[in-house]
Amino acid sequence: MIVGAERLPQNAGMDPGALSRAVGLIEAHGAVAQICVLRHEQVVLDRAFGCRPDSLFMIFSAGKPFMAMLVHQLAERGQLALDDPVARYWPEFSRHGKDAITIRQVLQHRAGLPVAHNLPRDALAAPNWRRAVHGIEHARPSWPPGEVPAYHILSFGFILGEIVQRVTGASLREVMRAELLDPLGLADTHLGLPAPLWYRHVPVRGHHPAARVRQAVFNRRGVRQAIVPAATVSSTARDMARFYLMLLRGGELDGVRVLRPATVAEALRPSANGQTDRLLRLPIRWAQGFQLGGPGPDPGRPRPMGSSSSPQAFGHNGSNCCLAWADPSRGVVFAYLTNVLSASFDGSPHQSEVSDAVLGACR
């Protein structure tokens, strides 16, 4: 399926007037942005705002599902087991009481290692793979493995990425390209932005002091081009829509199967159902590599997938500026990438409003 040709929304059971509200919200937000929405596998919205459709956005944590699905793929093939200790494949990881942490617990953000040291120190180490991994090897868990959900901001990608490299004997970038990106035709998705494509990158922007510090960091070539699997995937809304359409179809797209339906179902099985995440200090529904939708306990708190999202919806937010999700109950795929960083981790009312506008257009 080639994403990029909008069809009449009403042909996919969507209200054009309601869908136009989402466009109005994006225009009013004033960010450089792309959005791609599918309903029943038909493109109903495919727009770029202040950029080209092939401009490349840094998608931050919205890229975590790529890493997760590589691990689920290896489990499907019998090259690892999700309930194996991480240390079975990475012996140095076992230091300081981490020998019992399982791969599944990392996928669920229940390994007790939301950070190796603290977030600023981890962020400084992140562009250097060996330094980041060394820090995780010497880290001590903040909670016993499996006890509580605590969002693994950067450690998620480095732990799972190191496992993938040790199991396959290849670089993470090579594995992701060969096993997911190329088979799915995701030519505009990259783990670490290749230098020849720098001219297509969209710089991030921050309008608050904390966000401006992050802007200075994330606009550096050395950071944008580094292999930080939980943060530095660059992509387009069209590519993200294709990825989620594959998941909605149970692991197949355009006649190419990269995952079995049972594997996708396992990745979407809830692991935290509204518990308060100890790092984010927010109630959240986690799966095994994804955030899940559904109404939250606090109706006034923004939910990226929308306050009206169904419990079956799955996706991932990225720094409250990039978001992709799919809703099997409505047949909707949604990918919305922007370049404006939020000042906090407390949710984005704007993302919630755009998601709700799209959901409200479904008849």
Q: Is the pLDDT of residue 82 over 60?
A: yes
CB 39 within 8 A of CB 9: yes
Structure confidence at residue 348 (pLDDT): 83
**Identity of the residue numbered 79:** Q
CB 141 within 8 A of CB 113: yes
Helical H segments across 126-191, by residue range: 129-137, 155-168, 172-176
Give the span between the Cα atoms of 204 and 207, in whole angstroms. 10
Total Cβ atoms within 10 A of residue 283? 17
**Identity of the residue numbered 267:** A
Q: Which of 5-19, 58-72, 82-96, 102-116 has the lowest mean pLDDT?
A: 5-19
> Facing residues of 57 across strands?
235
Render pLDDT for 291-306 as a digit per residue (tens, 0 to 9): 999 977 676 677 899 9
Structure confidence at residue 100 (pLDDT): 97
Q: What is the mean pLDDT of residues 326-354?
A: 88
Structure confidence at residue 159 (pLDDT): 98
Pairing mode of beta strands 340-341, 205-206: parallel
Q: What is the mean pLDDT of residues 16-35?
A: 95
User: In this prediction, what percent of the chain has a pLDDT beyond 90?
Assistant: 86
Secondary structure (DSSP) of 4-43: -----GGGGTB-HHHHHHHHHHHHHHT--EEEEEEETTEE
Structure confidence at residue 297 (pLDDT): 67
pTM comes to 0.96
Pairing mode of beta strands 314-318, 322-327: antiparallel
Render pLDDT for 165-219 as a digit per residue (tens, 0 to 9): 999 999 999 999 999 999 999 999 999 999 999 999 999 998 877 778 888 889 9
User: Which residue, 187, 133, 190, is CA-closest to 163?
Assistant: 133
Give the span between the Cα atoms of 124 and 190, in whole angstroms. 21
Find the largest Cα–Cα distance for the chain. Answer: 58
Half-sphere exposure of residue 102, counting CA atoms within 13 Å on the CB side?
12
Q: What is the mean pLDDT of residues 89-97?
A: 97
Task: List CB contacts of 45: < 8 A, sequence separation 6 or more.
Answer: 6, 9, 19, 22, 23, 35, 36, 37, 358
- The residue assigned the tokens 């939250």 is 296
Q: What is the mean pLDDT of residues 331-336?
A: 98
User: Which residue, 266, 310, 64, is CA-closest to 176?
Assistant: 64
CB 158 within 8 A of CB 230: yes
Give the span between the Cα atoms of 357 and 44, in whole angstroms. 13
Q: Is the pLDDT of residue 333 over 90?
A: yes
CB 164 within 8 A of CB 208: no
User: Which residue, 88, 93, 60, is CA-closest to 74?
Assistant: 88
Give the span between the Cα atoms of 157 and 173, in whole angstroms. 12
Token pair for 209: 């002091």
Structure confidence at residue 241 (pLDDT): 98
Local structure of 331: helix, strand or coil = coil
Q: Is the pLDDT of residue 1 over 60?
A: no
